[in-house]
Amino acid sequence: MPISYFAHLRCPRCHASLAEAADALRCQGCEQRYPLMQNGAFPVLVPEPKPYLAENLTQFARFGRERRGFAWMIDEALTAHPWRETTLRPLHSALLRNLETTDSLGAEIAAQRSPEEHAAAGGEPQDPTSGQADYGPELLGFVQTDWSDAPEMVAQRATVMEKVGGMLDRFSSGGPALLLGGGAGRAYYDLAPRFERLMGCDLCYTYVSLYHRVQRAPVPLAEIHFPTIATDVVATPFVAQRPADGERTHDAYFVADATRLPVADASQRTVISIYFSDCVPFPALVRELHRVLEPNGTFVSYGPMIHRSVPPTGWFTPSEVMAIARQAGFECEFQEWSELPFRESPHHGIRTTHRVWAYTLRKRG
Ligand SMILES: C[S@@+](CC[C@H](N)C(=O)[O-])C[C@H]1O[C@@H](n2cnc3c(N)ncnc32)[C@H](O)[C@@H]1O
């Protein structure tokens, strides 16, 4: 991450400035230490980084165990039924291909721990990532949508960019800007050239870490379709990679919680959410938006109302969302519903179309 961006970051706990220390950013107020990962490529800016990283390490280990067990069963099935070679062998290879990458993500966290932390590790970590369990190594589809050049994924990205770009053209007056819940980061990468300064975040370690790896070199992964299938293709290998003609100039993409943002009050002119604002309780999100946006600043949101990972108390309808936003000090300037065929593939046993809500909110001046 370019050092010039550090000046625009704040402690997510107390909003004091951050100073660079060895392999970390240190809060100049509460002194919390925020590790820099992948040789300084990105900071982990959650209020409690140690338990957060410990939980991720546990998640990678659990995923590795489960997927090795799965690969072992496929191996057994191949021995018992050699005639299934053409369908099961690619599945076995796909499982190992993903494990190679996810194991190395776990190793990246383990390598950053001090000997004392290794010694103290063990027991169940706290649960700083509650609500995040669905994302990460279990769900590499977001990485495929973002970074593979399969025509279906290219088409989906183009539709999203056209809609979001259209709203930004009409309703936003530019940067400084922030993208929330950016997943594997393609929207961050594609939107960054529009702004003098765009920062982006996601709470999922896997996605942010893969974003930075993809900037450096292609990452081999695979989509596993099994057992929901429509054809004999049960797994599709893909390479997550930057566009051939793409620049690598926008790297201010880091780990953070959108409800505890590591940025100063009234510091952003535009905040963008794509497939995200239904993923956290809206009242907490709107409070944080109100804190970080400048007066008259704009929030641009595009995505369905699926409420993944949100407890039932956070399931709000569109008119309830608007009522909460108004009460928090926002006016809606635009809204529109459309449909998006989601992650289309001839090999998927289920075809999904999302009803997508696009809207913008302006913070009252
Ligand atoms: C439905 S995915 C969409 C990802 C991406 N925007 C896209 O369109 O592919 C929702 C994303 O929100 C992230 N997320 C969930 N809770 C979050 C939080 N509190 N702060 C930041 N990101 C969060 C997840 O890790 C996940 O990447």
Could you tell me the domains of the chain?
Answer: 128-363 (3.40.50.150)
- Ligand 1 atom closest to Cα of 308? 1
Task: State the helix-helix crossing angle for 205-216 and 49-80, rounded to 10 degrees.
Answer: 80
Q: Which amino acid is at 204?
A: C
Q: Which of 334, 342, 272 is nearest to 301 (CA)?
A: 272
Q: What pLDDT, on a 0 to 100 scale, did the predictor assign at position 113? A: 73
Ligand 1: centre distance to CA 258 (Å): 9
Q: Note the pLDDT tens digit of each residue in 173-224.
A: 888 999 999 999 999 999 999 999 999 999 999 999 999 999 999 999 999 9
Q: What pLDDT, on a 0 to 100 scale, did the predictor assign at position 131? A: 44
Q: What pLDDT, on a 0 to 100 scale, did the predictor assign at position 290? A: 98
Tell me the best of 146, 180, 202 to mutate to test the pocket of ligand 1, counting ligand atoms within 8 Å of each CB and taking the most: 202
Query: How far is C-alpha 363 from the geometric centre of its chain's CA atoms?
Result: 25
Q: Which of 111, 100, 288 is nearest to 201 (CA)?
A: 288
Q: Could you tell me where the beta strands, DSSP code E, fall in 142-242?
A: 177-180, 198-202, 219-224, 235-240
Residue of the CA atom closest to atom 6 of ligand 1: 182
Ligand 1: centre distance to CA 232 (Å): 32
- Ligand 1 atom closest to Cα of 179? 6
Q: Note the pLDDT tens digit of each residue in 318-358.
A: 999 999 999 999 999 999 999 999 998 899 999 999 999 99
Inter-residue contact 314 to 358 (CB < 8 Å): no
Residue 278 φ then ψ, to 5°: -90, 0
Pocket of ligand 1 (CB under 6 A): 132, 135, 142, 145, 180-183, 201-204, 207, 257-259, 274-276, 279-280
- DSSP sequence for 303-339: E----TT--GGG---HHHHHHHHHHHTEEEEEEEEEE
Ligand 1: centre distance to CA 276 (Å): 5
Ligand 1: centre distance to CA 199 (Å): 15
- Tell me the mean pLDDT per 10 residues along the chain, length 365: 84 96 94 95 96 95 95 97 97 97 95 70 47 75 94 95 98 93 97 94 97 95 93 95 79 96 97 97 97 98 93 95 98 97 91 97 96
Residue 196 φ then ψ, to 5°: -65, -35
Ligand 1: centre distance to CA 202 (Å): 6
Ligand 1: centre distance to CA 283 (Å): 17
Give the 3-state secondary structure of residue 276: coil
CA 258/CA 229 separation, integer angstroms: 35
- Look up residue 278 and give its two tokens: 């239904």
Q: Which amino acid is at 359?
A: Y
Inter-residue contact 302 to 167 (CB < 8 Å): yes
Q: What pLDDT, on a 0 to 100 scale, did the predictor assign at position 247? A: 72
Peptide bond into 176 cis (omega under 30): yes
- According to DSSP H, which parts of the chain are helical? 49-80, 85-112, 115-120, 141-147, 151-171, 186-191, 205-216, 282-292, 318-328
Q: What pLDDT, on a 0 to 100 scale, did the predictor assign at position 331? A: 98
